[in-house]
Chain A
Amino acid sequence: MSSVLFFIAATGVIAGAIGVVTLRSPFYSVLALVGHLISLAVLFLLLRAEFVAAIQVVVYAGAVMVLYVFVVAYVGDSGEPMGARLHGPGPLGSGLRKGGAVLAGCLLTELLIALLGTGLKAVSGYGAGYAPGPRTFGTAAYIGELLLTRFLLAFEVASMLLLIAAVGGVVLAARAGRPLAIGERRAGPGEPGEEVGAPLDLPRPPGTGTMAETVGGRS
């Protein structure tokens, strides 16, 4: 039973991952990623890590991917199929191809080191044994205890990093300036009112920003 489930989930994981990089429309790529993440959660369940599986779905499929879907559906297709620059001629295309090959090689080496180092031992095993009880392997209590004792430093560093990222996001969003009203446009280069030194102040079509902007600048 568990091996059947494993092969179904593993197929889903690999198909989803391939779909992310090969599908032409960004929307379908995001959906493939959602399928990939949910299949991954099933694999976690088979490893008796039910807490990690639930968190995987809640955080990745439920929060991160929701935002991706939201943005992709809102901004829409750019018209240019993804990967057009990669297959394109000229120095840009060849550079992207070379860089991609190098990065993929690095990732492959790293994964092989991890896999050969630990994974091969697990092939002949059956994972963690199932033990009943409130504080056994895989439960929330077990993971919480580990996070606050053995991995306390890593846990605190990760939370600080997230905090910094959140503050940074707010700062960057605030620098983008006042939202435009419908029909208004930003001042061009050299015109009065142009904001100098705002590299993230990218031009964007009106109505693609916040909801408040869409309803007429009311917030």
Chain B
Amino acid sequence: MSMGLPAVVGYYEPWWIQIIKAIVIFAVGLQLVPLVLIAERKLLGRFQARYGPNRVGPYGFLQPLADILKLLTKEQFRPTTSVGLLYALAPIISILTAVAAFGLIPFGDTQDIFGTKVGLYGVDLSIGPLYLFAFGAIAFYGIMLGGWSSGSKYSFLGAMRGAAQLISYEVSQGLALVGVVISAQTLSLTGIVHAQAGMWYVVPQLAGFLIFLVAGFAETNRAPFDLTEADAELVGGYNTEYGGGRFASYYFAEYLNVVVVSGIVATVFLGGWLLPFGLHPPGWVDPLVVLAKMSLVTFLFIWVRATLPRLRYDQLMSFGWKVLLPLATVNALVTAILVVATH
């Protein structure tokens, strides 16, 4: 493994390649969200022994398009008790942080395209996972400010739950990644993928993988941890008072976060663009491999949502602090000892 070299390439790319990459990444993200939306609704339908949406377009595949058009053409309103500026700002923060995190996922190694070296990722940082957690931290303000500035009790309660949940599970998520970082001995995400050439980290880091996945469910406010927007108790949580385009922004950010967590799991634990059994396909296959692995993880997200009931709030908290956090700590500790002992 050539340590460090992949992490540096991003700095030397010409500015126009970086602009093109930024546009491509945003466009890809924009396409993935409706796909995840329709996949979730169709699969939830099948899990619950019904058809799911099947009226708009062939097999109902144009349903997300209709939903988004409906939301975007609605009137922009805001409650009289809301705080204007923050109310408008909060969904923007949410969507910004989601797209920024998406830019980190490597879809392939550095490729030779028409004689120019291009990395198939937005940016490969020497602080990979830390950048991710930094934007995860800012994403909190999107939810919190949205709930607070709505001036409604339900929104506020949803935002408060989200706040407590994010703080609790972010720690376990970070510690789960520490094991991988210690094993790979680099913080660069492409470096982590290269380090998995012999064996994907899902095998030696199985505990870390499971902890990261569970914490990922909580971080993206997905079932069974979707107390932030528990519709039976809170109407809709932090986005109760939102409608139209702003609600669409929250919705987009939420599903993009699912895609991002799937991408991180695929990169960090499932070997990124690497294939097992010594297969070395040409470079253009790499993004397809990553997308296939991501969709597997997304399918797991939907499967869990269809299967598990929502936790009670105190169960959520005691699970996060008393089960997940000690497990993640022990995992990081054992990995560190093993790495030092085998060196």
Contact = CB atoms under 8 A, between A and B. Distances in A.
Interface of A: 27, 31, 34, 38, 41, 50-51, 54-55, 57-58, 61-63, 66-67, 69-70, 73-74, 130, 132-135, 139-140, 211-212, 215, 218-219
A215 B312 CA distance: 11
B127 A73 contact: no
Contacts, number: 84
A73 B7 CA distance: 41
A4 B136 CA distance: 27
B238 to A, nearest CB: 12
Interface in B295-343: 313-314, 317
B156 A73 contact: yes
A15 B144 CA distance: 22
A62 B164 contact: no
A70 B138 contact: no
Contacts of B134: 41, 54, 57-58, 61-62
A122 B193 CA distance: 39
A74 B160 contact: yes
Interface in B100-131: 125-127, 130-131
Given A58-B130, A62-B137, A134 B186 contact: yes
A contacts with B: majority SS = helix
Nearest to A61: B137
A34 B126 contact: no
Given A58-B130, A140-B127, A66 B166 contact: yes
A74 B125 CA distance: 37
A215 B313 contact: yes
Contacts of A61: 134, 137-138
Interface string B126-156: 1100110110111011001100100000001
22 contacts: A27-B148, A31-B145, A34-B141, A51-B127, A57-B138, A58-B133, A61-B138, A62-B170, A66-B166, A66-B167, A69-B141, A69-B163, A70-B160, A134-B126, A134-B186, A139-B127, A139-B187, A140-B126, A140-B130, A211-B313, A211-B314, A211-B317
